[in-house]
């Protein structure tokens, strides 16, 4: 249990009776004290998954939306690849240990979590590189089908790397191609003005990395198609945290990473998915030998592989990919409907506790309160957000900070519990009540926030 600086355990709510009654109506009696939260953890059908992760003692880890916790078995798997498959098998392991097929094998495991279907996904490279590939493919398809369309539309609040990659692609293409930014409100409203007949394709992040806003994939994709454009989705902040149905939603292409909610490890490879309708039409500009139809024929000219393998480029990072498989296998045993239900329950509790226990501070919840618009994180703002997060981390509560003034708390249902949420808000209240953030060490920023 996380304690306050003076050694006191977190105290139950002591609001007046009428306030307590109001809170009970909103969050239920089982969310009003720590003991009840601990009981919810004991009754949690997903509670066994917590033992699948390496979590430091006296630490509450709420940054799985940035880097997932280490999986048990990851170190052993890496050691096995290094000492046995590499050390003993040597180059034979490309065949004997299945290294060559690993991108597609892992791809099918990802597809099972995002509703992608077999043979539609490969795990490879980084999200940014895969987005460049997918966007390039969309450009070529639309140039053939709708040559007058030269606009790439994306969210103003998209993860910046996505915007940067699209800007670089448009600059490389020239010939009138441009990137236009659209506000989240325009997306939620179904593109009443931005989706003109100039738009070739739209790139959207499924969950806003800063606020945690979730966009309805099916209705949004339908609106994009009605406007004559293609839809590319970035699943970095949703894959592994909520139910996704890429094929059922009509999406055209998608990318995402494995190191956040999928717990693949720092810098673990990303993935790219292509719809069945485009699978025989897409091409990509990074035509390396792993995407060749017969790479070991060593032909001087490029012939793309059939299907999704053509999205591969160069030789894969087998150690990282093998470790990522451990996280994917854990997720494959979890019921994603139960994961989503717990995610919403955790964030409901977090939001209600912030509302009721921190209302005397300049704190605002910026994550949508509607379930249909919420991912698996709670973001709040405070004028001294960076310093407050630094103080939280010093106390063993690890979230992260994003400009401007946003404290992010990622809720990974497989290892975050209700008591963790209670303790987090109690520590946060103590930091704010006693201005513990107002210390020199909390004003110093490292390269990564």
Place of tokens 């931005």: 194
Q: Which of 159, 191, 261, 311 is an active site residue? A: 159
Active site residue 72: no
Q: Is 141 helix (H, G, I), strand (E, B) or coil?
A: helix
Structure tokens at 151: 């606009």
DSSP reduced 3-state for 326: helix
398: β partners: 61
Q: Which member of 133, 309, 408, 429 is catalytic? A: 408
Which is catalytic among the residues 109, 149, 150, 260?
Answer: 260
Output Rg (C-alpha) for the chain, integer angstroms: 23
Buried/exposed 41-61: b ≥16 CB within 10 Å, e otherwise? beebebeebbebbebeeeebb
Q: What is the largest CA-CA distance in the chain?
A: 79
**What are the structure tokens assigned to 428, written together?**
């946060």
Terminal alpha carbon distance of the chain:
26
Q: Which residue out of 53, 191, 259, 415 is catalytically annotated?
A: 259
> Which residue of the set 63, 234, 348, 420 is catalytic?
234
For residues 64 and 412, the answer to whether their CB atoms sit within 8 Å is yes
Q: Is 260 a catalytic residue?
A: yes
409 part of the active site: no
Residue keyed to tokens 């609106």: 223
Work out the angle at residue 368's Cα, subtended by the Cα atoms of residues 365 and 374, and round it to the nearest 5 degrees: 125
Q: Are 344 and 371 in contact (CB under 8 A)?
A: yes
Q: Is 408 in the active site?
A: yes
Query: Alpha carbon 38 to chain centroid distance?
Result: 27
Q: Known catalytic residue: 234?
A: yes
Query: Cβ–Cβ contacts within 10 Å for residue 76, how many?
Result: 11
Residues with catalytic annotation? Answer: 159, 234, 259-260, 408
């Amino acid at each position: 249990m996380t304690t306050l600086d003076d050694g006191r355990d977190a105290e139950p709510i002591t609001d007046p009776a009428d306030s307590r009654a109001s809170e009970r109506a909103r969050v239920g009696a089982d969310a009003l004290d720590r003991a009840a939260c601990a009981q919810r953890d004991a009754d949690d059908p997903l509670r066994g998954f917590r033992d699948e992760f390496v979590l430091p003692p006296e630490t509450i880890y709420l940054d799985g939306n940035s880097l997932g916790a280490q999986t048990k078995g990851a170190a052993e798997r890496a050691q096995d690849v290094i000492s046995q498959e590499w050390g003993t098998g040597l180059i034979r392991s490309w065949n004997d240990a299945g290294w060559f097929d690993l991108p597609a094998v892992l791809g099918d495991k990802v597809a099972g979590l995002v509703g992608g279907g077999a043979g539609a996904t490969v795990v490879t490279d980084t999200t940014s590189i895969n987005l460049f590939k997918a966007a390039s493919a969309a450009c070529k398809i639309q140039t053939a089908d709708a040559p007058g369309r030269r606009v790439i539309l994306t969210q103003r609040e998209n993860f910046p790397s996505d915007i940067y990659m699209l800007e670089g692609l448009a600059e490389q293409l020239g010939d009138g191609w441009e990137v236009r930014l659209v506000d989240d409100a325009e997306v939620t409203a179904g593109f009443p003005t931005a989706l003109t007949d100039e738009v070739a394709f739209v790139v959207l992040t499924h969950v806003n990395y800063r606020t945690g806003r979730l966009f309805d994939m099916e209705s949004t994709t339908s609106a994009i198609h009605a406007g004559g454009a293609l839809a590319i989705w970035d699943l970095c902040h949703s894959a592994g945290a909520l139910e996704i149905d890429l094929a059922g939603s009509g999406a055209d292409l998608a990318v995402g990473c494995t190191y956040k909610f999928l717990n693949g490890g720092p810098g673990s490879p990303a993935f790219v998915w292509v719809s069945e309708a485009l699978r025989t039409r897409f091409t990509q500009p990074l035509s390396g030998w792993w995407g060749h139809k017969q790479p070991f024929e060593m032909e001087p000219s490029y012939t793309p592989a059939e299907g999704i393998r053509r999205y591969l480029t160069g030789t894969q990072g087998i150690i990282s990919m093998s470790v990522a498989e451990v996280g994917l296998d854990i997720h494959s045993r979890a019921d994603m409907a139960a994961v989503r239900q717990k995610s919403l329950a955790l964030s409901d509790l977090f939001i209600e506790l912030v509302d009721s226990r921190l209302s005397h501070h300049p704190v605002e919840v910026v994550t949508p309160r509607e379930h249909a618009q919420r991912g698996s994180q709670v973001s709040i703002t405070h004028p001294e957000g960076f310093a407050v997060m630094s103080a939280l981390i010093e106390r063993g509560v690890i979230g992260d900070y994003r400009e401007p003034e946003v404290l992010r708390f990622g809720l990974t249902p497989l290892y975050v519990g209700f008591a963790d949420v209670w303790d987090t808000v109690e520590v946060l209240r103590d930091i704010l009540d006693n201005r513990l953030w107002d210390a020199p060490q909390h004003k110093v920023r490292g390269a990564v926030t």
